[in-house]
Amino acid sequence: MGLFRKKQEKPHNDGSLRSVAIIMDGNGRWAKARGLSRSAGHVAGAKVVESTLSVLREYGVEAVTLYAFSTENWNRPKEEVDGLMKLFSEYLSGELAERIISSSTLSLRFIGERDRLPEDLRVKFEEIENKTAGRPFVCNLAINYGGRDEIVSAAKRLAALEREITKESLSEMLYTAGVPDPDLIIRTGGEKRISNFLLWQAAYSELVFTDTLWPDLDRAEIERCLLEFFKRKRRYGGLNAEDLKEEAGKKA
């Protein structure tokens, strides 16, 4: 007894976890710790995406939104930005693109402002979106995405259409229209902030922060994050079923 570490409990999705978003942070620090360039860190990070999606899919998640490049990430050195654009382009070509396109389950979509992105990337986005549309498991890849820009452009579009601005109409104009708001947002890399990600959609998301750097994220760590989510009690400003029952018991 006590010789073996207790095996970690496996998360069980009771249906409350439909949508997950991830701030994939820590590539730079992962590379630095190994004496590698930041770009090498991004290459290592890209390798974890597929396995993360398949673990989440296994747990019954329907939609995953991944933050790959923010509107503020243009402020990085040109070499790093160019490296990232090249990486996105390579990632969406060849073997991996083939696997995504030929899978019958995954719909890959791209969210963010496309105008500033290289032409070849925009063409790839469209091709992949068209070929994978309508499948049950949705992955939104956020590239040149900013939450504030997203809200401003949604409001502008409603104004141009002379439509009333309501919570529903505004949600419909966001890149994520039709995708459930994230139940859970995971940020790897130890920072505890949102960094302009899904500002509108995160209104009632549970936030889980892990110190694990993105390229090191593995099944065990994802499962720890999911377990933390399932332990949370969501209240949405009201009371949850358990609290209500307890309160009713007191009145009886």
Which one, 38 or 109, has the nearer CB to ligand IPE? 38
Query: Which residue in the list 73, 149, 196, 216 is annotated as catalytic?
Result: 73
Picking from 223, 232, 167, the residue whose alpha carbon sits closest to that of residue 205 is: 232
Does residue number 25 form part of the binding site for ligand IPE (CB under 6 A)? yes
Using CB positions, name the residue nearest to Mg ion: 25
Distances (CA, A) of 167 to 147, 148, 157: 15, 15, 14
Does residue number 150 form part of the binding site for Mg ion (CB under 5 A)? no
Three-state SS at 123 = helix
Three-state SS at 141 = strand
Picking from 214, 236, 219, the residue whose alpha carbon sits closest to that of residue 25 is: 214
Longest dimension (CA), the chain: 70
73 is catalytic: yes
Three-state SS at 11 = coil
Query: Closest distance between ligand IPE and the C-beta of residue 182, in Å?
Result: 15
Choose from ligand IPE, Mg ion, none: what does 47 bind? Cβ within 5-8 Å by kind.
none
Residues 6+ apart with CB under 8 A from 56: 20, 64, 222
Does residue number 147 form part of the binding site for ligand IPE (CB under 6 A)? no
Site string for ligand IPE, 85-124 (x = CB under 6 A): ----------------------------------------
Site string for Mg ion, 19-58 (x = CB under 5 A): ------x---------------------------------
Does residue number 191 form part of the binding site for ligand IPE (CB under 6 A)? yes
User: Which span (18-26, 88-96, 106-114, 228-236) binds ligand IPE, by CB under 6 A?
Assistant: 18-26
Tell me whether strands 184-187 and 206-209 are parallel, antiparallel or unpaired: parallel
2 torsion bin: left (phi>0), alpha (psi -120 to 50), beta (else):
left
Which one, 12 or 32, has the nearer CB to ligand IPE? 32
Does residue number 205 form part of the binding site for ligand IPE (CB under 6 A)? no
Picking from 27, 17, 80, the residue whose alpha carbon sits closest to that of residue 191 is: 27
Contact residues for ligand IPE, defined by CB under 6 A = 23-29, 38, 67-70, 73, 84, 189, 191, 193, 195
